[in-house]
Amino acid sequence: MLEYSALDSERFGLRVFRGTFGTLDPDVLLGALLANDVDLAVVRIAAENQYLLHRLDGIGLPWFAADTLVWYESPLTGLQSRPLRNERLVLLLAGDSHLSVLDRLVADIFRGYHNHYASNPLLDSQMVVAAYQDWARRYVGSEARGRFCWLALIDEQPVALVTCELAGSEATIVLNGVLSGYAGRGIYTDMVRYVQRYFGNRGATTLRVSTQLHNRAAQKVWLREGFAFSRAQLTVHVNALLDRSVRAKRQIDVRLAASGSCGSEIHVLHRIVDQVQRQCWNVDYPGARPHRFRCRLLGSLDGRDSCRVAVSYPCDGGPGGSITSLVRVSDEQRQTRLLCYCELDRG
């Protein structure tokens, strides 16, 4: 089920929810999106269930495949410890005094690295780097809580980092990388060997690690160091944008028909859009005109006297760019009956 991600929500200024699903039921997912006013849903499913992705068309909201995550595992019980290749390499547990160094390493290592966050045009690319920095910082000075952050130094020069988590007998490499200027020197291999030995000596039986499918260099190292492929997951983003608005939201009541019967759903939609144009779009963006619609009808509005319409503006492309407006139509019981994403051309 979807769960609120306070960390991602704070990072990106959106209501972000995450969830891992064994199957995809569009009605269940849509119900969760609506109930929680979700802006961005990060959905993961096992790669072998990719044939289910077409079901997401049933929610009628914008979605796309954001990445493929692959997992590897190394058994630690009885693992033969291998020596480090770089004699001058020192791994140092990071403390608060190393936070600025850590930030610089993360910025250099992960700038341009594409994961599911970087795949979403809704998210600021600068915030993606900041998210990695914040993620790494949360492992500093947290050994008592099973979180570890090491800096790798050569001749006292920080050149790499690795963060890990220990939960019971299972350890996980979370965030790791080497400065591009030091790639190809076996430093990454040495870090993997170091954490294998470190957690093996502390009674852990398994070490896990994951990366993007396209990161072949890391996967080659893991295979050489005794890891085996475990599983793959697909990450999907649903850009529902049900809460975000760059301008004040508006609510209007639209009279559909005095008789209680207003004809086809298309007629109803035209009447709603006409009122939204007059009372909202022309006020907030004078001269703006809708040129594209993406609608999801959730329940009939035919035969109703009136409806409540909420209008928001999730995205504003700036001067010369298009505006995205969400028109959310509810009945007298405040049940959402229609979602309509409208692209507006500036006047």
Q: What pLDDT does 265 receive? A: 72
Tell me the HSE value of 158 on the side-chain side, using a 13 A CA sphere.
20
Judged against a pLDDT cut of 90, whether residue 285 lies above it is answered with yes
pLDDT tens string 247-260: 999 999 998 765 44
Q: What pLDDT does 260 receive? A: 46
312 or 287, which is more confident: 312
Averaged pLDDT, 222-240? 97
Averaged pLDDT, 97-126? 90
Instruction: Enter the DSSP assignment of 278.
Output: I
pLDDT tens string 10-22: 989 999 999 999 9
Whole-number average pLDDT of the chain:
92
Averaged pLDDT, 99-127? 90
Q: For the chain, give the percent of residues with pLDDT over 70.
A: 97
- From the list 242, 238, 239, 264, the residue with the least C-alpha distance to 330 is 242
CA distance 75 to 106: 28
Q: What pLDDT does 264 receive? A: 67
Q: What is the model's pTM?
A: 0.88
Q: What pLDDT does 127 receive? A: 83
pLDDT tier at 263, thresholds 50, 70, 90: low
Judged against a pLDDT cut of 90, whether residue 185 lies above it is answered with yes
How many angstroms separate the Cα of 287 from the Cα of each of 250, 271, 291, 295? 18, 19, 13, 23
Judged against a pLDDT cut of 70, whether residue 307 lies above it is answered with yes
Q: What pLDDT does 155 receive? A: 93
Judged against a pLDDT cut of 80, whether residue 320 lies above it is answered with no
Judged against a pLDDT cut of 60, whether residue 262 lies above it is answered with no
The domains found in the chain, sorted by start residue, are 74-209+218-224 (3.40.630.30), 250-345 (3.10.129.10)
- From the list 58, 90, 213, the residue with the least C-alpha distance to 155 is 90
Q: Give ∠ CA 226-229-232 in degrees, rounded to 5.
A: 150
309 or 322, which is more confident: 309
Judged against a pLDDT cut of 50, whether residue 228 lies above it is answered with yes
Averaged pLDDT, 272-286? 94
Residue 210 identity (one-letter amino acid): S
Averaged pLDDT, 210-219? 95
Q: Give ∠ CA 178-180-184 in degrees, rounded to 5.
A: 75
Whether the CB-CB separation of 219 and 188 falls below 8 Å is answered with no
Q: What is the DSSP string of 302-315?
A: TT-SEEEEEEEEEE
pLDDT tier at 322, thresholds 50, 70, 90: confident
